[in-house]
């Protein structure tokens, strides 16, 4: 990824781009094995032609991963997601 551009968004998220597309990666920490405590970066979205589509993809992923058993919990999770997206996109201004 040496030719890729990246912008730190906060909360462990990074926005990457190349001349053709955008994608988002997230920092994770190894919980076991010989690298315990070290961080690594993993792509968590697909590749999108616009920044807007990239963040829509991030939102869709988070919504699909919600394991709520009630509508109230689901609503809270979606509100939390909206706050996260707002925080991340403010770093782009």
Total number of domains in the chain: 1
Q: Is the whole-model pTM more than 0.85? A: no
CB-based contact 19:32 (threshold 8 Å): no
Token pair recorded at residue 63: 């919504």
Q: What average pLDDT score do residues 6-34 get?
A: 94
| Residue in 84, 40, 92 with CA at minimum distance from that of residue 66 | 84
More confident site: 72 or 91: 72
CB-based contact 5:17 (threshold 8 Å): yes
Residue 91 has pLDDT above 80, yes or no: no
Scan for tokens 């807007």, then name that residue: 52
- Could you tell me the residue range of the domain that residue 45 belongs to? 5-90
Residue 17 has pLDDT above 70, yes or no: yes
């Amino acid at each position: 990824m040496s030719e890729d551009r990246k912008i730190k968004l906060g909360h462990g998220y990074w926005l990457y781009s190349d001349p053709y597309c955008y994608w988002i990666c997230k920092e994770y920490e190894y919980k076991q094995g010989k690298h315990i405590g070290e961080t690594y970066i993993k792509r968590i979205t697909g590749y999108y032609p616009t920044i807007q589509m990239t963040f829509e993809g991030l939102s869709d992923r988070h919504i699909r991963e919600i394991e709520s058993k009630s509508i109230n919990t689901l609503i809270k999770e979606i509100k939390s997601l909206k706050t996260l997206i707002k925080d991340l996109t403010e770093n782009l201004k």
